[in-house]
Every structure is written in structure tokens, then in C-alpha cells.
Structure 1
Amino acid sequence: MDDTLKQALALGRAYYLKKDYGLAETYLTQVVESNPSFADVYNMLGVVYHDQGQYQKALRAFEAALRINPGYTDAALNLAVTYNDTGKYREAQETYRHALSRSGAAHGKLDRYVQGKLANMYADIGDVYLSSGLHDEAIAEYRRALALGPAFCDVRAKLAGALRDAGDREAAISEYEEVVRQNPTYVLARLNLGLALYGGGRRDDAVAQWRAVLEISPGNRNAELYLQVAGG
């Protein structure tokens, strides 16, 4: 590699790390046009394109990275995320499975980074199902996500909401309670827990949640409104 290309590579990586993707793209493109043998450069370009919403270019970049290095876990995970973002859920899951098989995690266990990305993918699919009114499918995806990331309170709150909307109030209450147990300052979860409790005839428990919200977030308008309605 000549000095000019080395400098372009160094600048491209530096701007990429700073998330200055416009300049990063300029230098990284220069590198692959001169020497298309760097898997990490294609992976960085894929991230840049994905950030810009150029999903097809991102797919091609990640695929190029994997052709050069089939064991490149980060590129495989980024490719799966991009498949997911473009509605190619089957391809996303297949790519994740390949990534997991090559991640270097101990047999029967997942690498934490891979585990987190996979959990987020399932949660994203759940969001799609939920937005389409397919509650059972959304619930199944959120449960898959939580099996991998049990401490993901935002995903658990989504699961609780989906259960509530599907008519399973008691299961929703249980999940909201777990969210509050894991994160006592999660205001939205407490508000929704209160609503689920109130809807189930547990007025005093609901009032307790809304009063707790006002301790965490004084003047919270929703909590004040709910307390007025409940006469609390």
C-alpha cells in the first residue's frame, strides 16, 4: 500500500470513529476504489450508508466485507440489522444464525455483543407486528428478545403494552411490575402499571403508583390527571 492510500485509510478511520460520516465516506471510498481487499473498510462504509438511509448500498458493502472475510462477525450483524430494516426478516435471522455460529462464544452460550444485537432485532420485529395490530406475534417476538436480554426494560414495557392491548391484563401487570422492580424510576412504566391496576379494580394500588410518579417527577400532568379521576 502506497503512502497516499495509507493516509486515506487513516483519515477514513479517524473520521469514522468521530462519526463524521461524510468525510469518512470520501476517504474510505478512495481506499476501496484503489484496493478492494479491506473487509473492515467495507464494513465502515456499510455503517455510513446505513446511517444515511442508503440501505441497498449498505447491504452491498456488508456483503462485500463478508466475501473478503466470511468470519467477520460485526459485518454479519450489521448486515442482519440492515436486512431487518428493509423488511427482509428471514434473511436477517439466517444471517444472525451464521454470525452466532462464528462468534467464538462458548458452546451453548452467546457472545454478549451478539446477544444484545439479536435481542434488539427481535424487539424491532415485534414493533413491526405491533404496529400492524398483530399482538400475538408481537408478544412472541418481545419474549424472544427478553430471553436474550432480560434486563431490557424498554422491551419488557413494550411486551406489557402488547399484552394489555391483547386483553391479558394480569400478564401485563406482571410485566409492568417487573419493569418497575428493575427500574423504579421508569415513569412511563409506573403510569401504565397504574392504569392496568385501575382497570383491574385495584384502585389503591393504582393510586400508589401514580403518587410514586409524582415523587419521581413532581408536577407530572398524567399522574395528576389519573389521581383526579381516581379520586386519589
Structure 2
Amino acid sequence: MDERTKQLLALGREHYEKREFDKAEHYLRQVLERETAKFADVLNMTGVIHHDRGRFEEAQAAFEEALQINPNYTEAALNLAVTYNDLGRYDEAKRIYQAALARGADSPGQLDPFVKGKIANLHAEVAQAYTDAGMMPDAMHELRKAILLCPTFADLRVKLANLYRQAGDLDAARFELEEAINARPRYVPAYIALGVTLLSMGNGERAMESWKSALEVDPDNKAADMYLRMARGATSSSPPPKLDASAERAILGGKIDND
């Protein structure tokens, strides 16, 4: 690498770390154009910039190329998994994530589960800040990163599913809620939220089954009982029940639990 390319790369990294993505992309693109041998970290940074702008297919291509250069590049693998998830390619997202975990298990310096939980909590706190500011795509991105670290944290998946549902992506919401239930079969908020999602999809029978499952775990759950009674008394043309504030809080739950 010549001196000019080194200078461009340094400037690109500096602006990238400051999240000045317009400037970072300007320099990183020049690095990729000047060098015959591509750099995995430059491609990964470029992919993150594409993803931040909603250019998911371009992000996917960048992350995949980074992994071709360095198959053990865990960060690029996790970023690719997030991108596949954004594109609705859930099976591929899971495959890439599990492969990254398998590589990490054989690598020195892997993160302790407690540390992963702490980092996941930080991502969730940032996600809540984005949600409060009305920046839903950013909130969802932070939650997806947290879930990649801690895929068995059911409350993370419920929070992400509720954001998907608000955005109208009911298939993605259902996927996250089913994964939450697989991870924690007795996590009542996941059953309640799944019922709401299924009813919104026009599947009243399965919605009632989900709320019944919630009541089997927690017979005194007011939200599940309310939805089940409403569904039983509703006609097929009735709109799905809207979450009131208390039910929404019950579904979203509290702080992430690390068990």
C-alpha cells in the first residue's frame, strides 16, 4: 500500500469512527478503487455505511466480499446476519450467526456470557433512546445487534417484534416472537404479543391459541384474559384489539434478564 492510500484509509477510518459516514465513504471508496487487493475491514465499514442508509443489498455484497477475504471476520459475519434479517432472509441470517458463534467458540478471547449480556443491555438502552426519539429503523438495528449477542433473551425479541408490528412487517414480528417462545417457553409476553400479531394477520384461531398458552403459564394474566375474551366475542369482521398502555407495558416488559 502506498503512502497516499494509507492516508486515505486513515481519513476514512477517522470519519467512520465519528459516524461521519458521508466523509468516510468518500475516502473508503478511493481506497477500494486504488487497491487491487481489497481489505476486509474497508469492505466491512463500507457495508455498515450502506446499511445505515438503507441500501441493504449493497451492504450484503460488501459484507459477503469481506468474508470471502477473511472467513473468520466475526464482525462482518454478524453485520451480514443483521442485513439478511433486514432483507427477510431469516434462515440465512440464523445460519451465518450460528457459523460465527461456532468460529468464536474455537477462538481465544471470546466474550464471556455475562459481558455479552451487558453489551446487549447497552444496545437495548440505545434502542429505547432511538424509539423515544421516533427513530424506529435505528432502534430496530440496535435490537438486532443485541439479539445477535444474546439470542435467548426473549424480551429483546418481543421488543423488536413490537417495532416490526408497528412498522407493518407482521411476518418479521411473528418470526421474532416464535423465536422468543422457542428460547423461553414460559415467557408470557411473547405469547400475548404473538396473539396480537396473528390476529392482525387475520388468523384469529391461532391468536386465541397463543393467548390460551399465556394463561396456562399465568392464569391471572389480565392482558391475555382480556384479549381472549374480546376475540371470543368478536365477529370475523371486527378489527384486531388495540393494545392499551398497561397491556403494551406488560408485553414490552422491563430490563433485559440475563438468565
- Same fold, TM-score > 0.5, yes or no: yes
C-alpha separation in 1, matches of 2:99 and 2:211: 38
Out of 110, 130, 141, the position equivalent to 2:179 is 141
**Residue number in structure 2 paired with 1:92:** 93
C-alpha separation in 1, matches of 2:19 and 2:79: 16
Q: Is the 8 A contact 1:143 1:159 kept in 2?
A: yes
Amino acid at match of 1:131: L
Q: Is the 8 A contact 2:177 2:193 kept in 1?
A: no
Q: Is the 8 A contact 2:88 2:172 kept in 1?
A: no
Out of 124, 131, 134, the position equivalent to 2:170 is 131
The equivalences for 1:74-93 within 5 A come to 74-93=75-94
**Structure 1 portions without partners, runs of 5+:** 178-192, 202-220, 224-232
Q: Is the 8 A contact 1:9 1:31 kept in 2?
A: yes
Q: Is the 8 A contact 2:191 2:211 kept in 1?
A: no
Q: 1:43 to 1:146 in 2, by over 3 A?
A: farther
Number of residue pairs matched by the alignment = 180
Larger relative contact order (C-alpha < 8 A, sep ≥ 6)?
2
**Residue number in structure 2 paired with 1:116:** 147
Q: 1:133 to 1:97 in 2, by over 3 A?
A: closer
Q: 1:51 to 1:159 in 2, by over 3 A?
A: farther
Which string of whole-angstrom CA distances, capped at 9 and with x for unpartnered residues, describes residues 141-160 of structure 1?
A: 2224658xx9xxxx974543
Q: CA deviation at 1:133?
A: 10
The equivalences for 1:45-60 within 5 A come to 45-60=46-61
Q: 1:138 to 1:88 in 2, by over 3 A?
A: closer
Q: CA deviation at 1:50?
A: 0.7
Q: Does 1:34 align with 2:34?
A: yes
C-alpha separation in 2, matches of 1:156 and 1:99: 30
Which string of whole-angstrom CA distances, capped at 9 and with x for unpartnered residues, describes residues 49-104 of structure 1?
A: 01111112111110111011000011011111111111222222221222111123
Q: Is the 8 A contact 1:81 1:92 kept in 2?
A: yes
Identity over aligned pairs, percent: 36
Amino acid at match of 1:116: I
Q: CA deviation at 1:139?
A: 3.9
Q: Which entry has the higher C-alpha Rg, 1 or 2? A: 1
**Residue number in structure 1 paired with 2:15:** 15
**Structure 2 portions without partners, runs of 5+:** 121-144, 200-206, 230-243, 247-259
Q: TM-score, normalised by structure 1?
A: 0.60
Give the 3-state SS of the residue equivalent to 1:102 in structure 2: helix
